[in-house]
Structure 1
Amino acid sequence: MIRFGTNPIAWANDDDQSIGADIPTGRILEEAGQMIGFDGIENGHRWPEDPAQLKALLGSYGLAFISGWYSTELLTRSLEDEIAAVQPHLAKLKHNGCKVCVTCETSNAIHGDPAKPVNGKPVLSSGEMADFGAKIEAFAAYLASEGVTLAYHHHMGTVVETPEEIDAFMAATGPDTHLLFDAGHCTFGGGNPEEVLARHVARVAHFHAKNIRPEITARVRAEGMSFLQGVLAGAFTVPGDQEGGIDFKPLLQILADNGYEGWIVIEAEQDPHVRNPLLYQTLGLHTLKRLAAETGLTHRAGKAA
C-alpha cells in the first residue's frame, strides 16, 4: 500500500526562504490538500514546531504529516550529541505517527549556499565514508529503538551524491539504515535511476518522485552554478512534465515488484512565480496515480498515519 505526498518547497523554498515568501501558508495547504488531493505533506519552515499544533493544522486541510528533513552533523559531533539534538524533531515525528526520519548529513554540505558551485561538493575518502557510515548506523539503531526508520536522503552538494557514493554509503551502513531514493538527485548526480534503485530497493523506505530538466542540469554543471541557482533556472520539475528527463514508470515498477509500502512524494522545488505549483503538482499527482495503477501499486487514500 502506498500513499501520495508532496513537499511545500514547490510553493515556498526552505533553503532560500525568499523564494515563494509572498505565498500565504493557507494557500499552500489548501492547494495541496483540498484542491490537488495529496494524502500528506512533508515538513517545511512554515509549519508549527509544536507536534500537536502541527497535526491539527495539517489535519484541518485533510493532510497527514509525512516526515521531514533532519540535518545530521555526525562528521563534526558525537553520537550522543546527535541523539540529544534530534529530540524535538523525533517528538514531532512520533506524535504525528511518522514511520521514517528523512536524514541528510549537512555539516559540510554546500547546497544551501548560493555562492558555491554544486560541482565543488565535499568528498569523503573510503575510510571517512566507513567511519561516517558506522556513526549513521548507530544513530539509525537509536531511531529504530524509538519506532522510527532512518531514511537517508542522498542529495546534491553533500557527501552522498553520486551513484558510487550511494553504493559506498549503503555498504558502510547496516540493517537499521535505509534509503530515501530520490530519482532527481540520483540522475542529477550522474546515476541511472533504474539501476541505482534496483540495487538498493530492498532498503528503500521513502521515495521522492523528483524529475529534472536535463538541459538545465547540464548547464548547472557546465557553468559552475550553485544548487540554488539551478533551482531558480528550473533544474527540477514533476513527473509527467514533457520537459522532464526521467521515466517514472520503470521506477514504480521496481517498487511494485519488490513490495514497496510507504510514501511516494513529489519533492520538486521550482520558482513558483515561473511555474505555478497548483498546475505542476496536479500534473505530477495525476501522472503518479496513473503509473501506480499500471504497475500494480495499490494506493491507500486518507490522512491517517
Structure 2
Amino acid sequence: MITIANAPVSYGVFGLSRPDLVALPTGDELLALVSEAGYDGVDLGAHGLFGTGEALIGNLNRHGLGLAGGWVDYPFTGSDAEFDAAFKAALPVLDDFALVAAQQQGHGPLPTIADAGDAARKARPGGAPELQLSGAAWDLFVARLERVAAHVRSLGLEPTFHHHAVTYIETPAEIDAFLRDTTMDLTFDTGHLLLGGGDPATDFRRWAERINHLHLKDVNLTVLEQAKGSDDPVRDVWEKRVFVALGEGDLDLDGIVGDITDSGFDGWLVVEQDVVLMQQADVDRAVADQIANRETIRRWFA
C-alpha cells in the first residue's frame, strides 16, 4: 500500500528559508496544515520542529499524522573530524526515529540519508562528469555511508538514501555507482532526478527493486538553465521556484505515477514542493499548492 505524506519544505520551512522576510509556520501550525490538506504523514524537517521524544509522538498523534521520514545529511567527502561531528550530531535524531517507529502503525519512518555536498557541487547544479567521485575518494564515501547504514539498522530502522541536487549523488551515473557499491536502498525523487539530468520514467523502471521511498515533485527546468553562471545558483534556483505544483512543470506526472502503481511499490510517497517564502502571498500560495497537490493525486491515491 502507498501512503501519502508531505514535508516542511513544501511550506517554506527548510535550510534556505527567509524568516527575516516573512513569518513561517510553526511546527504545530505546519502539522495542522498537512493534516487539513488530507495527507496521512509528514517528513520530520529540522530536528525539534515537531518536538522530540515523547512530545514528538504526541504532536504527530494529535494531528493524526504518521512520520514518513526525514532528512539527515553528512559531509561524506569532508575531513574525518567533520564527518565524525556530523555522525555524533545525528545520533539523537535517529534515536527519535527509532522511538516513533516502535509505536507507529503501518509504514514506519525511514531516516533519509543524504550527502551534504560542498562548494564545488553547489556551484554546479545539475552536476558534471568531471565532478563524479572515483578512486580513494569514492571508496571513502562508500565506507562512511555503510557506517551510517549499519548504525541506522542497529536501531531497528531501515535507511534510505536521497540523491539530491548539488551533492555527490546527483546524476544518474552517480546514482548507478551508489546502487552498485552500497547496501542502502534509494529515495527516488522525481524533481531532483530531473535536475540531475535523469529521466524519471526510464530510471524508475531500472532502479525499482532498490527504491524504498518516494519523493514526488514537479520541476520547471527553465529555472535551472537560467541560474547557470550565477554567483549563488543554489539560492537562485530555489528562490525562482524551480519546484512547482504537480502538473505545472516538466514532469510526466501521469507516466511516473503509472509506473509507480504498476511496480507494486509499498511504502511512503512524500509530495514535496520546495519553496522559499519571501512575502505573505508566498505563504498563502504554499498552503494552497499543497491542497491542490493532494487533490491532483487523488486520481491514483484516495
What's the TM-score bracket when you normalise by the shorter of the two chains? 0.7 to 0.9
Check conservation: 1:118, 1:224, Cα contact below 8 A: no
My pick for the range that moved more, 85-94 or 139-148, is 139-148
Q: Is the 8 A contact 1:110 1:158 kept in 2?
A: no
Equivalence for 1:38: 39
Which one-letter code corresponds to 1:40 in the other structure? G
Query: Which aligned pairs between 1:267-286 and structure 2 lie closer than 5 A?
Result: 267-272=272-277, 273-274=281-282, 276-286=285-295
Read off the aligned partner of 2:295 and give its amino acid letter.
H
Matches within 5 A, 1:248-263: 248-263=253-268
In the alignment, which residue of structure 1 is the partner of 2:109?
A: 99
- Residue range with higher mean Cα deviation, 2-11 or 65-74: 65-74
The answer on 1:86 being equivalent to 2:87 is: no
Q: Which of 263, 266, 270 is matched with 2:271 structurally?
A: 266
Give me the whole-angstrom Cα distance separating, in 1, the residues matched to 2:133 and 2:172: 15
- Structure 2 partner of 1:289: 298
Answer whether contact 1:154 1:180 (CA < 8 A) is retained. Answer: yes
Structure 1: tracts of 5 or more residues without a match:
293-298, 300-305
C-alpha distance in 1, partners of 2:61/2:235? 31
Aligned sequence identity (%): 25
Residue equivalent to 2:4: 4
AA in 1 matched with 2:237: G
In structure 1, the residue matched to 2:221 is 214
2:104 corresponding residue in structure 1: none
Find the residue that maps to 2:143 and give its secondary structure.
Answer: helix
2:55 alignment partner in structure 1: 53
Q: What does the per-residue CA deviation read over 1:129-148, in whole Å, with 9 as the maximum and x for residues that have no partner?
A: 24312331342133223221
SS of the residue 1:277 aligns to: helix
Cα displacement (A) at 1:218? 2.0
Aligned to 2:80: 77
Deviation at 1:71, TM superposition (A): 1.2
Q: How many equivalent residue pairs?
A: 285
Bigger Cα displacement from structure 2, 90-99 vs 227-236: 90-99
Structure-2 separation of matches of 1:235 and 1:81: 32
> Residue 195 and residue 132 in structure 1: after superposition, are their counterparts in 2 closer, same or farther (change >3 A)?
same
- After superposition, the Cα gap between the structure-2 partners of 1:18 and 1:224, relative to the gap in structure 1 and judged at 3 Å, is closer
Letter in 2 for 1:103: I
1:152 aligns with 2:156: no
Q: Provide the C-alpha distance between the structure 1 equivalents of 2:268 and 2:210, rounded to a whole number of angstroms.
A: 14
For residues 72-113 of structure 1, give each alpha carbon's deviation from its aligned partner in whole angstroms, at most 9, with x where no partner exists: 2333338876654432011111111243110111163678x7
Aligned to 2:134: 126
**Normalising by structure 1, what TM-score?**
0.83
Aligned 8 A contact 1:70 1:103 in 2:
yes
Of 23, 27, 30, 1:28 maps to 30
Aligned to 2:18: 18
Q: What is the Cα deviation at residue 163 of structure 1?
A: 1.0
SS of 1:142's equivalent? helix
| Structure-2-length-normalised TM-score | 0.84
> Structure 1 residues 228, 192: CA separation in 2 closer, same or farther (over 3 Å shift)?
same
Instruction: Determine helix, strand or coil for the equivalent of 1:68.
Output: strand
CA contact under 8 A between 2:218 and 2:245: conserved in structure 1?
Answer: yes
Q: Distance in 1 between matches of 2:51 and 2:33?
A: 22
- Which structure's residues are more often helix, by fraction? 2
Q: SS of the residue aligned with 1:53?
A: helix
* Cα shift at 1:254: 2.5
SS in 1 for 2:228: helix
Which runs of no fewer than 5 residues in structure 2 stay unpaired? 102-107
